[in-house]
Chains A and B, each alone.
Chain A
Amino acid sequence: MTDEPTPQVPYCLRLPGFRSVAWQQWLPAQLPSIPPGAIDLDIGDWSLSCRDLDELLHALQQAGHEVQLLITRCRDTLISAAALGLPVREASNDIHTSEARDDQPNETKTHVDLTVHRGTLRSGDHIETRGHLLIVGDVNPGGSASAEGDVYVWGRLRGRAHAGSKGNSNAKIVALQLRPLQLRIAELVARGPEEQPQPGLAEQACVLDGAISIEPASAPFFAQQT
């Protein structure tokens, strides 16, 4: 151990925002500029399987860099990192922390707190976000989705959903097919309806008179909340 104090903020290595190159080609050029020792690794939107991630960590390790924290915005990578036992943090979708989004058109900035997840949430999967959450796919029984804002499911919601997880009772849950095991909005809990909903009818759940009630989804689907 040296007497030299470790830097307060470790170096943070960011993968490029757009996947135009494979990291295997990108990494060697970056290695010389990375200070040795512990670093943070910001994966950004990259979706890495266990094997990919392991390979990446291995490549860094061989160059003498120990990844002490992984930051990612992609759920698959999050799961991979958890499976490898790596400390991991989900990046907030705050526009200021993300270089990759700076060049997006201005109008998307109003939706900046919307997290989009593509793919099915299977049993045991859990996704939790700040802001609104849009799932393009199903939420299967045993899966759960939680957001501080609204939860939108462009598919079948058959698991659990929690909107307004930090207490916003104006939040709502919208799904193309709403057949949940359980719904939560803010502190309220409701079991899913017993009878099957009409097919082809998007429904939404929101708080009405202190209880969660389900009604046909109202346009606009993505209403902006304050």
Chain B
Amino acid sequence: MTNSRTILICSGKGGVGKTTLTANLGIALAGQGARTVVLDADFGLRNLDLLLGLENRIVFTAQEVLAETCRLDQALVKHKQEPNLALLPAGNPRMLEWLKPEDMQTIVGMLSERFDYVLIDCPAGIEDGFKNAVAAAKEAIVITTPEVSAVRDADRVIGLLNTNGVSPVQLVLNRVRPKMMANQEMLAVDDVTDILALPLLGLVLEDEQVIVSTNRGEPLTLNGHASPAAKAYGNIARRLQGEDIPLMDPAKSGRRGIRARVRQLMQTKIF
């Protein structure tokens, strides 16, 4: 496939939602009919398989494919409910040293021949794991939360992506709490985009359902869940596919019923 897209999902800081975004985006893209593979480049602390509920199905990894002890389709783990989605773990947590940037390029080259989307789940940090993952990526999604530390790390990562010629780079803002933003207790969307100067691909609201789904191993986007985060992930997938969907305005995201809205209205009038 010549029009296959290789997208790196990275953040710099850990725990901001790289793996969750990868899993949900993978499911959403596959659900929209695109042949998608998610590659777990964070193999030291891999847990993309956990989020997708595929932990017990992994037999081989990219490591065996490169060593030619198995075929690529043996190592690919097909998702139970979403046949368009496959998972490829990059390596074995016990063998951390083997992977080099060239290996990553080889693997991604093989994957891009048979998939429309190759999503790479990047490890936190900017050390070797990040460099390996960047070597194979053509475009990137930087995910961050509205906190100064996450934004700072994202900024650093964007600089590194630019010097490595990765383009376009888009931004996803995760764990947005509209109420705190309205009260100016949290960085506003504008503050973040002001510093990072990237096109915003999506806003994901803070959502307890994400925790539930992570522990169950069923990504939110799997069953057309109605929670705000599920909707946001679905929209991000559509925007990636080129659809024009307006961004949600956190100030207007009516949380629950009329009471909350009235309270919000009063708050905005006071300020």
Contact = CB atoms under 8 A, between A and B. Distances in A.
Contacts of B162: 76, 122
B165 interface: yes
Contacts of A52: 165
A158 B151 CA distance: 13
B165 A125 contact: no
Interface string A33-61: 00000000000000001111000000000
Interface residues of A, number: 18
Query: Dominant SS at the B interface?
Result: helix
A98 to B, nearest CB: 24
Nearest to B153: A123
A41 B127 CA distance: 28
A83 to B, nearest CB: 7
Contact of A122 (B148, B158, B164, B165): B158
A79 interface: yes
B163 A124 contact: no
B163 A123 contact: no
Interface residues of B, number: 13
Contacts of B224: none
Given A120-B197, A158-B195, A140 B163 contact: no
B156 A122 contact: yes
Query: Dominant SS at the A interface?
Result: loop
Contact of A123 (B155, B164, B165): B155
B46 interface: no
B197 A142 contact: no
Interface in B137-173: 148, 152-153, 155-156, 158-159, 162-165
Nearest to B167: A49
Contacts of B164: 49-51, 83
A75 to B, nearest CB: 9
A50 B195 contact: no
Interface of B: 148, 152-153, 155-156, 158-159, 162-165, 195, 197
29 contacts: A49-B163, A49-B164, A49-B165, A51-B164, A51-B165, A76-B162, A79-B163, A80-B163, A83-B164, A120-B197, A122-B155, A122-B156, A122-B159, A122-B162, A123-B152, A123-B153, A123-B156, A124-B155, A124-B156, A125-B159, A138-B195, A138-B197, A140-B155, A140-B195, A141-B148, A141-B152, A141-B155, A141-B195, A142-B156
Given A50-B163, A51-B165, 16 more contacts: A49-B163, A49-B165, A50-B164, A76-B163, A80-B163, A120-B197, A122-B158, A122-B159, A123-B153, A123-B156, A123-B159, A124-B155, A124-B156, A125-B159, A140-B195, A141-B152
